[in-house]
Amino acid sequence: MGKPRLHIGDKNYSSWSMRPWLALRVGGVAFEEVLHPLPEMGGAKPAFGAISPNARVPALELEDVTIAESLAICEWAAEQNPSLWPKGSSDRALARSAASIMHSGFPNLRNDAPMNIRRRTDAARMTQAGLDDAAKVDELWSGWLKRSGGPFLFGDYSVADAMYAPVVTRFITYAIPRSAEADRYMNRMVAEPHMAAWIAAAEKETRQLPRSDIA
Ligand SMILES: N[C@@H](CCC(=O)N[C@@H](CS)C(=O)NCC(=O)O)C(=O)O
């Protein structure tokens, strides 16, 4: 079989694509990436329906099936390389819980502060609900780091870190206030070579999405 193909959106904007891309890269799982421009708000929808069962990216195309949903793709990556989840059963359960909390949560933070790696603006544009979501993320990160002793949320880099990676970039883009512990974690995350490579590629992209760049 050829390499799995990961369909992703623009690296500057596609937060959901970033997560499994990181899990696959950190896990050392070989794959090809296929980048599809994300649609403009109200613009013509690209043919993501032909790529993925949920008509969204990311999607991982295997020989026999295509896997939709970022967290499911991360789980597949962790089946190829089990070190993407912590070893101990309680730690593994907690890391899975952390990843699920991110996958289903923090809607106000996501709405107020769409991922835009290149941009530098400020948190004044965010609602109190969005800032409250960010403060909750900070509290969770700090608690998990205290419990594990770091350097990543559950010790070694895990799927949980990949799931929170786009939030790290949002804290930077929107200069969201954070604790010293969260700041140190963010510095470790952006220095991680695969995340640094994604950020460098995002910074080279020139396409703009007005809903994120002008709003
Ligand atoms: N729950 C999905 C969310 C995927 C998602 O919303 N992807 C966005 C790009 S980051 C998308 O495909 N948007 C295209 C559209 O809305 O038509 C996941 O975890 O993968």
Task: Report the SS3 class of residue 149.
Answer: coil
CA angle, 194 then 123 then 136, to 5°: 70
Q: Quick one: average pLDDT of 67-78?
A: 98
In the chain, residues under CATH classification 3.40.30.10 are 5-82+205-213
- With a 6 Å cutoff on the Cβ, whether 56 touches ligand 1 is yes
Q: Quick one: average pLDDT of 72-89?
A: 98
What is the token pair recorded at 193?
Answer: 């070579």
pLDDT tens for residues 12-29? 999 999 999 999 999 999
- With a 6 Å cutoff on the Cβ, whether 70 touches ligand 1 is yes
pLDDT tens for residues 156-210? 999 999 999 999 999 999 999 999 999 999 999 999 999 999 999 999 999 999 8
Task: Check: CB of residue 174 under 8 Å from CB of residue 124.
Answer: no
pLDDT at site 43: 62
In the chain, residues under CATH classification 1.20.1050.10 are 83-201
- The C-alpha atoms of residue 104 and residue 115 are separated, in whole angstroms, by 16
pLDDT at site 141: 98
- With a 6 Å cutoff on the Cβ, whether 166 touches ligand 1 is no
Per-residue pLDDT band at 213 (split at 50, 70, 90): confident
CA dihedral of residues 60, 159, 189, 168 (deg, nearest 10): 80
Question: What is 83-201's CATH number?
Answer: 1.20.1050.10
pLDDT tens for residues 35-51? 999 988 666 667 788 99
Pocket test of ligand 1: the residue of 16, 51, 54, 103 to mutate, having most ligand atoms within 8 Å of its CB, is 16
Question: What is 5-82+205-213's CATH number?
Answer: 3.40.30.10
pLDDT at site 20: 99
**Burial 195-209, CB ≥16 within 10 A → b, else e:** beebbeebeeeeebb
Q: Quick one: average pLDDT of 86-107?
A: 98
